[in-house]
């Protein structure tokens, strides 16, 4: 499957994606969101899952 996708990308002159590398991550940066934010987010997601299933 990967080889087929690589061939398709090369035929279309599209750059082959390599995903994230070590250069894409800055471990010394501060958190973007607080733990409280994640708690509220996951609670809301769970509520939506229960309500719409």
Provide the residue ranges of all domains of the chain, joining segments of one domain with +.
Answer: 2-52
The model's pTM is 0.37
- Three-state SS sequence of 11-30: HCCCCCCCCCCHHHCCCCCC
Q: What pLDDT is attached to residue 52?
A: 64
Q: What pLDDT is attached to residue 17?
A: 82
pLDDT in tens, the chain (53 residues): 889 999 999 999 999 888 888 888 888 989 887 888 888 888 888 888 776 65
**Structural contact between residues 16 and 10, judged by C-beta atoms closer than 8 angstroms:** yes
Q: What pLDDT is attached to residue 12?
A: 94
């Amino acid at each position: 499957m990967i080889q087929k996708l690589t061939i398709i990308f090369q035929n279309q002159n599209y750059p082959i994606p390599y995903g994230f590398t070590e250069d894409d991550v800055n471990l010394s940066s501060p958190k973007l969101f607080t733990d409280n934010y994640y708690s509220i987010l996951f609670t809301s997601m769970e509520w939506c899952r229960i309500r719409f299933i």
